[in-house]
A = this chain, B = another copy of it.
C-alpha cells in the first residue's frame, strides 16, 4: 500500500474518536465517562484509544481543540454585529461547553497538557476581548483590567447560567460608557 494513504485513515479514525469523546464529555461528563464507555461509543477497543492518545487528558485536550475551532469558525458570521451582541452571542454559543469549563480548571492543576491548553485559551480570549473593547472605544489605560474583568465575567456566565435578562444586564454593565 502507498505510504501516503495511511495518514488519511489515521486522521479519520482519530477524528471519530474525538467526536465520540466530545459527545460523551458534554452529555455525560468527563469524570463520568469511562474509557470503556467512550471506546464502545467510538466503536473501538479501550486500548485502541491509547494508540491514538497518550491518556484521558490528552483526549480531553483534543476535544477542547475541536470545540474551540468550531466556535471560532462560527464566530466569523457575527463579526460585524455590535460589540455587546457579539459577547452575548459568544456566551450563548459557549454555554454548551459549560461542564467542560469546570473540568479544565480542575484538571489544569494536575495535568500539564490541560494546564497548557488552559493558558493558550486565555491568551486567545484576552486578545479577542481586548480587540473588541478597543474597537468599541475603551480607554487604552484601563483596557487590560477591563479585558480581565471581561474574561472572568464570561467564564462566570458560562458556569453559572443566568436568565436572559440578567445576562444582558451584566454584559451591558461591562460595556457601559463605550460608544458602540
- Give the interface of A toward B (CB within 8 A): 29-32, 99, 101-103, 105-106, 108-110, 122, 142, 144-146, 148-149, 151-153, 155-157, 159-160, 162, 166, 169-170, 172-174
Nearest 6 interchain pairs by C-beta: A152-B156, A102-B105, A145-B169, A102-B106, A145-B173, A106-B106
Q: Which residues of chain B are within 8 angstroms of A106 by Cβ–Cβ distance?
A: 30-31, 102-103, 105-106
The contact of A173 among B101, B102, B110, B149, by CB within 8 Å, is B149
Question: Which of A108, A109, A110, A144 is most buried by chain B, counting CB atoms within 10 A of its CB?
Answer: A109
SS class, residues of chain A in contact with chain B: helix
A149: chain B residues within 8 A (beta carbon): 149, 153, 156, 170, 173-174
A162 to chain B, nearest CB (A): 7
Chain B residues positioned under 8 Å from A108 (CB to CB) = 102
Q: Which residues of B are found within 8 Å of A105, using beta-carbon distances?
A: 101-102, 105-106, 159
Contact between A145 and B170, CB atoms less than 8 A apart: yes
For A154, the closest partner residue in chain B by CB is B152
User: In the complex the two chains form, what is the Cα distance from A102 to B149 in whole Å?
Assistant: 19
- State in angstroms the CA–CA spacing of A173 and B143 once bound together: 10
**B122/A148 in contact, CB under 8 A:** no
Known: A99-B109, A106-B106, A149-B153. 17 other contacts (CB 8 A): A30-B106, A31-B31, A102-B105, A102-B106, A102-B108, A105-B159, A122-B160, A142-B169, A142-B173, A145-B166, A145-B170, A148-B162, A149-B156, A152-B156, A153-B153, A155-B155, A156-B156
- The interface residues of chain B lying within 8 Å CB-to-CB of A99 are 109
Chain B nearest Cβ from A80, distance in angstroms: 27
Instruction: Return the chain B residue nearest A152 by Cβ.
Output: B156
